[in-house]
């Protein structure tokens, strides 16, 4: 799966965004190491805080279907499906990525109109992050 192909899937996912409050539609396409792709969109709520971002929708769909190994996620977002700027994952979504993905190899691909894209490692967008590695010593002692 190429980066432009994954971005196209993220654009398709954004069409299902439920964003009646912000009107910012976001789509994500999460590539598993086994080649499967899970799509996600943002799902807003009248109470605001229950809103779920596109990235987390994709991750939670995948994990709930038994997937744990991921290689990349493509993300697009913007006002009413106009992806004129890069729409970077929020801090909470970066933290969810850190739970399941290798910091130095997992790729975060940001797409926008006109076929432009930028690719980062998770480590680049979440430097000095907190991950399951930080609980490793404790986990080993407990085992
Ligand atoms: N949003 C995402 O889906 N992903 C992000 O990483 C940033 C924000 C959504 C949440 C909300 O529905 C809308 O974008 C505006 O914040």
Token pair in block for residue 130: 């907190």
Residue 143 has what pLDDT?
Answer: 63
CA 36, CA 29: separation in Å to the nearest integer? Answer: 10
Percentage of residues of the chain with pLDDT beyond 70: 97
- 3-class DSSP state of 109: strand
Give mean pLDDT, residues 12-29. 98
Q: What's the CA-to-centroid distance between 34 and ligand 1, angstroms?
A: 27
Kindly report the pTM of this predicted structure: 0.96
Identify the residue with better confidence: 122 or 136.
122
Average pLDDT, the chain: 96
Which residues have C-beta atoms less than 6 Å from ligand 1? 19, 22, 24, 26, 42, 44, 51, 53-55, 89-90, 93
Is the Cβ–Cβ distance between 10 and 27 less than 8 Å?
A: yes
Measured in whole angstroms, the distance separating CA 50 from the mean position of its chain's CA atoms is: 17
Are 42 and 25 spatial neighbours (Cβ–Cβ below 8 Å)? yes
């Amino acid at each position: 799966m190429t980066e432009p192909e994954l971005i196209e899937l993220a654009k398709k996912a954004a069409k299902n965004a439920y964003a009646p409050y912000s009107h910012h539609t976001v789509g994500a396409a999460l590539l598993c190491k086994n080649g499967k792709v899970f799509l996600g969109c943002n799902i807003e709520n009248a109470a605001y805080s229950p809103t779920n971002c596109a990235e987390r929708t994709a991750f939670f769909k995948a994990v709930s279907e038994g997937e744990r190994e991921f290689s990349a996620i493509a993300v697009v977002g913007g006002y009413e499906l106009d992806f004129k700027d890069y729409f970077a994952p929020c801090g909470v979504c970066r933290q969810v990525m850190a739970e399941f993905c290798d910091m130095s190899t997992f790729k975060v691909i940001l797409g926008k109109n006109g076929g432009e894209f930028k690719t980062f490692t998770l480590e680049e967008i979440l430097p000095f992050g907190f991950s399951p590695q930080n609980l490793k010593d404790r986990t080993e002692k407990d085992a």
